[in-house]
Structures are given as structure tokens and as C-alpha cells.
Amino acid sequence: MGFDYCFACGKDNPHGLHMHFERDGDGVVCHFRTEAHHIGWPNVQHGGITCTLLDEASAYVPFLMGLVTVTAELNISFKKPIHVGEQLRVWAKPTKVSSRLLLVEAGVEGEDGEVKATSTAKMMVLSADKQKQLGMEGLET
Ligand SMILES: CCCCCCCCCCCCCC(=O)SCCNC(=O)CCNC(=O)[C@H](O)C(C)(C)COP(=O)(O)OP(=O)(O)OC[C@H]1O[C@@H](n2cnc3c(N)ncnc32)[C@H](O)[C@@H]1OP(=O)(O)O
């Protein structure tokens, strides 16, 4: 299975979130609507879904630079609950880029711009050998 089955962005994954990213300056942005099947506590989006939104946005920053990375670290601050039916703006931008590591800042905001969650991520750039070693097959950027 390739990119199209990515849980966060794959168009062919029937269980996925179907995130779609666009460039925004040197970063990325995506709009996402919280649905009933995304909850943990009643009416409140599961924190794991929020993590996925932030992780994916962080991964798309290097991806759109033509780099294959994995998340080595992801630190999240959950600021406000997200409720079913909310329309969210998910963004990410690089704060430091080196040949092996990118630091990426990301956030989730409500329609009124309220900050729901923020994160910082360390994205490790993978060589072709490392991709093979980690069992990542069929990757082409
Ligand atoms: C059509 C469009 C489709 C688009 C699709 C887009 C898809 C996007 C999908 C994205 C999905 C979403 C994204 C996801 O969810 S990716 C999935 C979640 N992440 C993972 O599965 C990663 C699992 N971890 C690993 O594979 C390894 O631990 C990695 C690769 C991270 C390091 O490997 P390893 O441990 O073997 O290291 P090394 O021997 O290669 O050494 C490397 C160097 O790096 C240093 N180091 C290591 N760790 C850290 C750290 N935390 N902070 C700072 N530095 C660190 C290390 O000391 C060394 O430095 P030096 O001693 O050389 O100086």
C-alpha cells in the first residue's frame, strides 16, 4: 500500500482522515472538520486525532521540500477542547532546517482563530538506505 492509504491524507483509505494540504509560504495548511467518529469523551475530539493532525502537518513541511522524513519527536500542548462539527485550520511551518533534521512548529485553530493545540516536532531526514532499513517501500517524492 502506498501514499493513498496514509491514515491521515490517503484518498483511498476508507478509515482515514482525508487531510488535504496546501502550501502556505514556507509552511502548509489544511482544513479539517471534526466528525462524530473522531471523539473520545462525548462530543470532544480524541486527543489522538489531534496528534495525528499535527504530526501529519509537520511531516508535510519536509515532504513538500522533496524530503522523506519520520517524526522522531512530537511535543503537543492541548489548549482547548475541539467539538464535533468544528471547522479547523491546521498549519505547520519549519523553524530550523538542516540536512538531517527539521524542527517544525504546528497548530490547530478553530474558525474564530482560537488556538486549540500546538506542537513542536523533530523530523529526521531519511536516506534511501535508511528508508529501506525501516521497511518503507514504494516511496517516491
Ligand atoms: C501523494 C501525496 C502523498 C503525501 C504523503 C506524505 C506522507 C506523510 C506521512 C507522514 C506520516 C507522519 C509522520 C510519522 O508519523 S512517521 C512514523 C512515526 N515515526 C517513526 O516511526 C520513527 C521511529 N523512529 C526511528 O525510526 C528512529 O528512531 C529514527 C529514524 C528517528 C532515528 O534513527 P536511529 O535512532 O537509528 O538514528 P541513526 O542511527 O539513524 O542516527 C541518526 C542521528 O539522529 C540522532 N537522533 C536520533 N533520534 C533523535 C531525536 N529524537 N532527536 C534528535 N536527534 C536524534 C542520532 O543521535 C544520530 O545523530 P548522530 O549520532 O549521527 O549525530
| Helix, strand, or coil (residue 31) | strand
CATH superfamily, domain 23-133, is Hotdog Thioesterase (3.10.129.10)
ipTM metric: 0.87
- Ordered alpha helix ranges (H), the chain: 47-63, 128-133
* Res 110: pLDDT: 98
131 lines ligand 1 (CB under 6 A): no
Cβ-based neighbours of 3, under 8 Å, separated by 6 or more? 9, 10
Question: 134 exposed, middle or buried (CB, 10 Å; 0-12, 13-18, 19+)?
Answer: exposed
Which is nearest to 117 in space by CA: 69, 65, 58? 58
Residue ranges of domains in the chain: 23-133
**Tens of each residue's pLDDT in the chain, 141 residues:** 567 999 999 999 999 999 999 999 999 999 999 999 999 999 999 999 999 999 999 999 999 999 999 999 999 999 999 999 999 999 999 999 999 999 999 999 999 999 999 999 999 999 999 998 988 876 654
54 lines ligand 1 (CB under 6 A): no
109 lines ligand 1 (CB under 6 A): no
Q: How much is the pTM?
A: 0.93
